[in-house]
Structure 1
Amino acid sequence: MNIRSRRDKWFDIGNIIFMSAVVFVTLAPFWFALVGSFNDGLDYLRGSVYLWPREFTLANYKAVFSDTTIYHAFFITISRTLLGMSTHIAFTALVAYGMSRKGLSGRNIYLVIMLTTMFFYGGLIPTYLLYKEIGLLNNFMVYIIPTLFSVWDMIIIMSFFRTIPEQIIESAKMDGAGEYRILLQLVLPLTKPVLAAIALFNGVYHWNSYMDALMFTTKSSLEPVQLVLMRMVTDASYGESFSQQAMSFMPEEAKHVSSATLKLAMMVATTAPIVAIYPFLQKYFVKGVLIGSVKG
């Protein structure tokens, strides 16, 4: 008994050390970016700014938000995230409910067709030509319509729908409820946990997405904030011009800003909102996992 308890203690110690190392490796880059974003730009170029700002300043964030294009980019990102997430949940849940009903004619055929799309993709050029034909190029709806439905999410929701006892649905039908009423008032309230989990993942996808904007839009008015960040990081000329334009609005504090610290401030500004919202959704996500385990 003593040997086993000693082994358990060593296992706990090893587990704590390992998980601490994982947490450190995961959070260190974020912390370094946060520290650098609050540091004086010229001082940051000297290096060795890791644990805390050596010369604290808010000039980097003032420079980022001095340009009105950032506000518009945030508006595009927030709009596509909220609209894309809500329409994705509504459309995918609607399809999943239909596919979960045993009386649906041709259900197996529909399922085979949908599963085929998970393994075969037409390619970028056919997709571009398709979007061009249906008028999605340089259109805000290019962020919404292609993400309305996900076969994988449909399978997850459909599997959860099937855990609901058929007797509950049958009793609702005997009381005169139609399919839409059963879905909206009976089935969806019971599946809030799984819907919250899918909303979390889909919302993070929309917030971080920039490839669709890069490939299918050319208007600066449709650029999400992640595309602006990507260009700042990867395109030296774009980052330098953004820095000069931002500092031109605040010449008195330009000496406290550099291109490097401006990029770090932009990274933190684009990441902070989704990080702040995540814990609230995570609460419902964990609750959903526990409910799902009880149902199982």
Structure 2
Amino acid sequence: MKLARSDKWFVGSIYIFLVLLLFVTFYPFWNALVISLNSGSDTARGGITFWPRDFTFENYLFVMKNDALLQGFMISVLRVIAGTILALIFTGLFAYAMSKKHLIGRRAVMVYCIITMVFSGGLIPSFIINRNLGLMDNFWVMVIPSIISVWNMIVFRTFFEEIPPEMEESAKLDGCGYFGSFFRVILPLSKPVFATLGLFTAVYHWNDWFTASIYINTQSLKPIQTILQQVLSSTVMMETMVNSNASAQEFLQRTRSVTNKSITMTTMIVATLPIVCVYPFLQKYFVKGVMIGAVKG
């Protein structure tokens, strides 16, 4: 269909706006990548925009030789795996129970859950509870408090209510109980919503730095995002990184092309890259899983 002149101008302006929006959102990440691949001494001169002037991998070699960053990366990976799996299992089981209309006290429990979404106890009560539970300076303080998400439970519950009850009844005829029905029938049919909420949960665990900064004092238990936050906020970042690792000191003595800014950008890329790599493979579940769980019911 042929567009009128005014429509062509309108469509063209929309495309221009979208291109500018893409540039504004993508360029900061691209600039960080360029600086991480450029010599630090050359970056200090300024003017680095779209391409590295002095291409080098020395920034990444320095980061890889730092034990604190590698340990933080492994802690983040373990936290994402443990936190995501446990959250999906416990939140899914909770939502499965809440999807049963014959559950006694179902409405009261739901009201209580909604209240927790609106009102929070605050940081001080949470700190006292975690301390009394013995979770201070413990890896599980980053996992256990976030096992149950009310919002995710509501999405799960809405999705489960749309599954035909005849499929679950057929499983019960074969001798399955509630747990058997959940893991053998409900779970295989709910892959889209599990993939979607699983990715949301994984991104939360990967990006969260605040929890560890409050409850974790041992440096070896801090995730990469908390270390990155310390790097970005510290005026003596390079001294802290170098003093924490003897091999990093030796490497720094052999090269003068590593600076605070280059290491900061390199650490940002290393912390962001895993999510960027995983996201495209699960993106197809986003619209399908969230829309099914949110529109109906």
Q: For residues 205-264 of structure 1, what are the alpha-carbon distances to aligned partners after superposition, in whole Å with 9 as ceiling and x for unaligned?
A: 101111110001111121111111111110112343315666513145421111111111
Pair 1:281-2:291 in alignment = no
- C-alpha separation between the residues in 2 aligned to 1:61 and 1:187? 44
Q: For residues 6-61 of structure 1, what are the alpha-carbon distances to aligned partners after superposition, in whole Å with 9 as ceiling and x for unaligned?
A: 45433332221111111111011001100011111111111110110011111111
Asked if the contact 2:156/2:293 (under 8 Å) is kept, the reply is no
Asked if the contact 2:209/2:226 (under 8 Å) is kept, the reply is yes
SS at match of 2:283: helix
Q: Which residue of 1 aligns with 2:87?
A: 88
1:283, distance to aligned residue in structure 2 (A) = 3.0
Identical amino acids, percent of aligned pairs: 41
AA aligned opposite 2:176: A
Deviates more, 1:67-76 or 1:170-179: 170-179
- C-alpha separation between the residues in 1 aligned to 2:294 and 2:4? 30
C-alpha change, 1:208 and 1:33, in structure 2 (3 Å) is same
AA aligned opposite 1:166: P
Q: Which residue of 2 aligns with 1:214?
A: 213
* Aligned residue runs from structure 1 range 219-234, under 5 A: 219-234=218-233
SS at match of 1:255: coil
Asked if the contact 2:75/2:221 (under 8 Å) is kept, the reply is yes
Q: Which residue of 1 aligns with 2:119?
A: 120
- C-alpha separation between the residues in 2 aligned to 1:60 and 1:175? 60
Q: Which residue of 2 aligns with 1:143?
A: 142
Pair 1:129-2:128 in alignment = yes
Deviates more, 1:92-101 or 1:278-287: 278-287
Let me know the Cα RMSD of the aligned residues. 2.2
Asked if the contact 1:32/1:50 (under 8 Å) is kept, the reply is yes
Normalised by the length of structure 1, the TM-score is 0.93
Pair 1:109-2:111 in alignment = no
Gaps of 5+ in 2: none
Q: Which residue of 2 aligns with 1:269?
A: 270
1:122, distance to aligned residue in structure 2 (A) = 1.2
- C-alpha separation between the residues in 1 aligned to 2:6 and 2:175? 62
Gaps of 5+ in 1: none
* Aligned residue runs from structure 1 range 26-175, under 5 A: 26-175=25-174
AA aligned opposite 1:254: T
AA aligned opposite 2:36: S
AA aligned opposite 2:72: A
Asked if the contact 1:240/1:259 (under 8 Å) is kept, the reply is no
Aligned length: 295
Q: Which residue of 2 aligns with 1:12?
A: 11
